[in-house]
Structure 1
Amino acid sequence: MRELRFEDVTVRYGHTTAVDGVSLTVPAGHVVGLVGESGSGKSTLARAAVGLAPMHGGRILLDGEPVPTRGRNRPLQMVFQDPYSSLDPRMSIGESVAEAIPPGASRADRRAEVGRLLELVHLDPARAAARPSELSGGQRQRVALARALAGRPAVVIADEITSALDVSIQGAVLNLVRELQRELGLSMLFISHNLAVVRYVATHVAVMHHGRIVEEGPTAQVLAAPDHDYTRELLAAVPGTQHTKGSPR
């Protein structure tokens, strides 16, 4: 368990500022939800953390040290929205998971580790030879989680991992995230546009709007009495919830 910290991070694309001086901490062993509409900058912040978006300012630290973004054994592992595009269709799911295991293990040990990881995400190890096209969307997302865990990350970044799934499958994946966090003590940045999803998995929530964090705090506190108009708008979009300023209904 390790702490991930963003300090005044800025990301620009040409004249457009996608992330504007964001500071945010993911404490060791906690799930922090980052919520906002499409275009708010939340996925860009995640991509900056794993070296996929260039920073124009600020720092990203792991236990106080700059996060390395090169080399095979990266301490941050990202799970993307579309599990099919993140898995090589030419490889079996076992091969995809094995590819992410740090070097040094024997072939037998790697095979055993693949089986353990598939079981961890509630997939039958006997299906290790299956191709991604043979699995459902929910099963592919479980493989993506297993692959991320295979790298033995210090922090997992989950970017809209349920938004491409059927509603009936989303709950099972969210339950799996909660189970993995509880059993493994994961530190996780969980990104979503849906406050109801974040409420279910995160102990702390940060709300992002136009590239900035406009509100953050313990999830129960922010959702019960949001301070910012944008947070209230997001909350009003969740079925069964209506809020006025400072008071839940």
Structure 2
Amino acid sequence: MKELRFDDVTVRYGTVRRPFTAVDGVSLVVPAGQVVGLVGESGSGKSTLARAAVGLAPIHSGQILLDGQPVPRRGRVRPLQMVFQDPYSSLDPRMTIGESVAEPIPPGSSRAERREEVARLLALVHLDPSVATALPGRLSGGQRQRVALARALAGQPQVVIADEITSALDVSIQGAVLNLVRELQRELGLSMLFISHNLAVVRYVASHVAVMYEGRIVEQGPVEQVLVDPQHDYTRELLAAVPGNRPTSATPHAPRTRSTS
């Protein structure tokens, strides 16, 4: 796994006369083998930053580096893989689960080897390999999000970007998916940018957190440092919005969250 670095990144939309700055001079590091949480309310720019990292949003200025080198924008093998918020739109409904997971596997393996790899990846995310023959319509939202994680891992990425991956799920399913993220990070040593609007979720999965507000990072540091002694008013507001929040204690179990999106 490698370090992902955003170096003074700005993303703008609109025209020269009427520009809109969605991300404004953001600098952020995701250390190799660690999970960094990026938190902020809807419209803060966090998803735009993620999309810029994988080439889905234009960079106006700054650069995004992987171990000091620009992130490749072309080629079938992509060192950054993204898991999107909506599990119902992230998979092609006409492709079987096995076909979707196999699609990003790097070229060079035989058909049998690809089938074996698909089965391994599905088992890794706690799905029965037999679902490989099913279409996405037969799966629940939680199962589809597990498939999306398996698909991201199939590309053998150096960094995984998870964009609000639990906010569209039922409360009863969110904790299981968060536990899976923690398990995968421990087993695989993943470098991950984990995006959420919920500080309780970020506290559970990340070692470091960055708080984004109106396109800028307003506070960042180790999770317990930021959440126990927040320095910015916006961070305090986010903490106050967490049900039953106790800033001086860590969350011992997967948080039971309620989506606000």
Q: Tell me the TM-score normalised to structure 1 length.
A: 0.97
Aligned equivalent of 2:208 = 204
Find runs of 4+ consecutive structure 1 residues off by over 2 angstroms. Answer: none
Q: Which amino acid aligns with 2:184?
A: L
Contact residue 84 and residue 137 of structure 1 kept, 8 A? yes
Say which SS state the counterpart of residue 72 (structure 1) adopts: coil
**Rounded Cα–Cα distance in structure 2 between residues aligned with 1:241 and 1:183:** 30
What is aligned with 1:10?
10
Q: How many residues are treated as equivalent by the alignment?
A: 245
Indicate conservation of the 8 Å contact 1:236/1:242, yes or no: no
- Quick one: which amino acid aligns to residue 8 of structure 2? D
Task: Provide the residue aligned with 1:157 in structure 2.
Answer: 161
Q: Partner of 2:77: helix, strand, or coil?
A: coil
Asked if residue 142 in structure 1 is aligned to residue 146 in structure 2, the reply is: yes
Q: Which residue of 1 aligns with 2:174?
A: 170
* Aligned counterpart, 1:106: 110
- Give 1:222's aligned residue: 226
How far has the Cα of 1:233 moved from its partner?
0.2
C-alpha separation between the residues in 1 aligned to 2:221 and 2:130?
43
| C-alpha distance in 2 between matches for 1:2 and 1:53 | 22
What aligned pairs does 1:10-159 form with structure 2 within 5 A after superposition? 10-14=10-14, 15-159=19-163
Measured in 1, the distance between the counterparts of 2:112 and 2:208 equals 40
Q: Percent identity at matched positions?
A: 83
Task: Kindly provide the CA deviation profile for residues 53-105 of structure 1, in whole angstroms up to 9, marking residues without a partner as x.
Answer: 00000000000000012211010000000112110000010110011111110
Aligned 8 A contact 1:93 1:143 in 2: yes
2:245, 2:184 → 1: CA distance?
A: 29
CA distance in 2, matches of 1:20, 1:62: 20
TM-score by length of 2: 0.92
| Equivalent residue letter for 1:5 | R
Distance 1:242 1:184, change over 3 A: closer
> 1:152 and 1:79 mapped to 2: Cα distance?
14
Letter in 2 for 1:12: R
SS in 2 for 1:86: coil
> What is the Cα-based RMSD across aligned positions, in Å?
1.0
2:245 and 2:114 mapped to 1: Cα distance? 47
* Aligned equivalent of 1:181: 185
Gaps of 5+ in 2: 250-261
1:38 and 1:2 map into 2 onto residues whose CA distance is 28
- CA distance in structure 1 between the aligned counterparts of 2:34 and 2:220, rounded to whole angstroms: 15
Alignment partner of 1:234 is 2:218:
no
CA distance in 2, matches of 1:83, 1:3: 27
C-alpha distance in structure 1 between counterparts of 2:90 and 2:76, whole Å: 17
Deviation at residue 242 of structure 1 after TM alignment: 6.2
Between the aligned partners of 1:175 and 1:72, the Cα distance in structure 2 is 30
Partners of 2:227 and 2:184 in 1: how far apart?
A: 24
